[in-house]
Amino acid sequence: MRVIVVGAGLSGLMAAQSLSDNRHDVIVFDKGRGVGGRLATRRIGDATLDHGAQFFTVRSEEFASHVNTWLDAGVVHEWCRGFDSEDGHPRYVGSKGMSGIAKHLAQGLDVRTNALVFSLERTASGYNVITDDGIAHACDKVLLTAPIPQSFSLMFGGAIEMPDEMRTIDYDRTLGLLAVLDSANHNVKSPGGMQNPDDVFSFIGDNSTKGISATHALTFHANPEWSRTHFDLELDEIHSLLLTAARPWLGDAQILESQPKKWRFATPRTTWPEPFWIDPSGTLALAGDAFAGPKMEGAALSGLAAARALVIHIS
């Protein structure tokens, strides 16, 4: 069968890889310039900075089986086993940044970036997925892995029902700051990660210590409350406020270059109780971190579970 996956984040790519491995014809559309979604890495000069997901952990055997292949391929490596103190659970990162995981998964897949899915329509044999260039792409089944509000818009336009309880799922926002420094004389100590260090930031990461940046660079994520309060300000004002809030953590280091970042759909506030949702016809499914949990492992397992469900429902 032909399946179209909307969203080239971790959930969508894991699902597409699984479907492709089972000899199905898969196309992945993503509106972004590259793959990864919140597996996002930016380069500023010689610095490499993760500005979305900062690390991930492994709790299940199923996810571990995939991560072990990434480790063997050098796609990921262990960063540390705790930030304030060791707890025995490895924190993994992409060896070339978190986006490197997505690029690895996308190899061999038909992934089309800069392609915004504009609408869906049911047909006698499946669906037409219409992109913003006006082209209708016919398929048997559809998997939506975008944040719930975006998936709801597509389903609503195609007169496809979404459960009422699912429509109420909202997301925390995150404002971020990427800062390239002139030295390592900052106050983010080994192993280079700080969770909830003050009233503004939920995480500060040292991209050099985590092993992805050739030069000194810090990523700052503001917490949900601070981000929600300031999200609608002008970007220049957000940038200035974040620079001021970051100052105590810079120590004697000076910022050479900095950029702000906005994530509208950073983390789901609540999650659907099942790892995916599939419509009664078995032809359209939803997956992502709003289903199996708001961490990378949850997003991955959700995509894999949804792919299996679409295959099971072949008529």
Would you place residue 314 in the very low, low, confident or very high pLDDT band (cuts 50, 70, 90)? low
Helices (H), the chain: 10-21, 61-72, 99-106, 148-157, 164-167, 224-230, 235-250, 296-312
* Contact in structure between 189 and 85 (CB atoms under 8 Å): no
Name beta bridge partners: 203: 195, 221
Quote the pLDDT of residue 88: 85
**Domains of the chain as residue ranges with CATH:** 2-38+57-169+270-312 (3.50.50.60), 171-268 (3.90.660.10)
Residue 190, classified by CB atoms within 10 Å of its CB into exposed (0-12), middle (13-18) or buried (19+), is exposed
Give the bridge partners for 121, in sequence order: 128
The CB density around residue 20, as the number of other CB atoms within 10 Å, is 17
Mean pLDDT, range 106-131, rounded to an integer = 97
User: pLDDT (tens digit, 9 = 90+) per residue, 170-227?
Assistant: 999 999 999 999 999 999 999 999 999 999 999 999 999 999 999 999 999 999 999 9
Close Cβ partners of 131 (under 8 Å, ≥ 6 residues apart): 29, 115, 116, 117, 118, 137
Q: For residue 300, give the nearest of 1, 18, 4 by alpha carbon.
A: 18
In the prediction, which pLDDT does 293 show? Answer: 83
pTM for the full model? 0.96
Average pLDDT of 150-174?
Answer: 95
